[in-house]
Amino acid sequence: MALRIEPLSDVCGAEVHGIDVTQQLAPGDAAAIEAAFDRHKVLVFRRQPMTARQLAAFSAHFGELQVHVQVAYQHPEVPEVVRMTNRKADGTFDEVGAARGAAPNTRDGWHSDLSFERAPAKATLLHSIEIPDCGGNTCFSNTAAAYRALPEHLKQRLDGLQAEFVYGQAKRNALAAKAAEALKGAAKTETAAVHPVIVRHPATGEPGIYVNPYTTQRILGVPEDESDAIIERLADEMESLAYRWEHVWSVGDTLMWDNRGTLMHSGRIDYPLDQARRFIRTTVRGTPLAPYRLPADSVAA
């Protein structure tokens, strides 16, 4: 079967048909998937169970893998893989594990992976092992579309601003602070970086909102009350249903999503907490993000 890309919404998301994710990809197929990734921001590979080694091998088609800072959840045999789970070793509910990248309300959970590092992730691949009977969807917001809809006066105010992103020292978001409790050693204090509020996607050139309610600590160079107001305003924008799509999981599904500045995501903590939600995940290494700047005549106007 030939590779085929099926768009899943007008906002973002596409399903990839016609490949076996457990096998080495042909160069042409890998290139086609990369192009679809740039265009659709989220790709779905349905119902193809993988081991941790197979997920790492598949992910490596799209770049160098990096070890995640959450070493407490590192896979014991494949260090490039982390386990995303809401269960402790004894089978009881893991509040810290459940809070990693998820929220009861997506409004508080939107984020882009590894935004607290100088070179944030290029891509995340998440593979489902065990899912609850209902709930636990992974949600996405197209922040390139959200940026385009902002009023011009706000675009001008955001032009050139930078923000601080943190994990180990998160204070603004209680869920991020809870998830960071599992960090060990230097990661507790060294997971912080500065990035543009509005970034230019390195592959498409699109501008997108990069500030988020989960890991953004403050906007630099503005009063604290204005910083908070801007973060809240942009979170409200990405929460709009006009820019959103979400994936309903089946066992064996794999999602691949973009972290380079035009997409936010959040898991939902809306499932029965007595049921397991277990995934494995890889991170494809990225590069530092560049700012998007308005044209000079736009700013002058």
- Determine the pLDDT at residue 237: 96
- Please report, to the nearest 10 degrees, the dihedral formed by the alpha carbons of residues 77, 248, 236, 188 taken in order: -10
Q: How far apart are CA 62 and CA 123, in angstroms?
A: 8
Q: What is the pLDDT of residue 69?
A: 77
Q: What is the CA radius of gyration of the chain?
A: 18
pLDDT digits (tens, 9 = 90+) for 260-280: 999 999 999 999 999 999 999
* Domains of the chain as residue ranges with CATH: 4-300 (3.60.130.10)
**pLDDT one-digit tens code per residue, 162-192:** 999 988 665 665 555 565 555 556 555 556 8
Segments of the chain scoring below 50 in pLDDT: none
Closest residue by Cα to residue 145 from 22, 238, 66: 238
- As to burial, measured by CB atoms within 10 angstroms (0-12 exposed, 13-18 middle, 19+ buried), residue 87 is middle
The structure tokens listed for 128 are 């489902």
User: What is the reported pLDDT for 70?
Assistant: 76
48, burial (CB in 10 Å: exposed 0-12, middle 13-18, buried 19+):
middle
What is the pairing mode between strands 42-45 and 14-17?
A: parallel
Q: Which of 57, 237, 48, 54 is nearest to 155 (CA)?
A: 237
Cα–Cα distance for residue pair 243/240, rounded to 1 Å: 6
Give per-residue pLDDT as tens, 184-218: 565 555 568 999 999 999 999 999 999 999 899 99
Contact 19, 47 (CB under 8 A): no
Gap between the Cα atoms of 93 and 277, Å rounded: 10
pLDDT digits (tens, 9 = 90+) for 90-99: 999 998 889 8
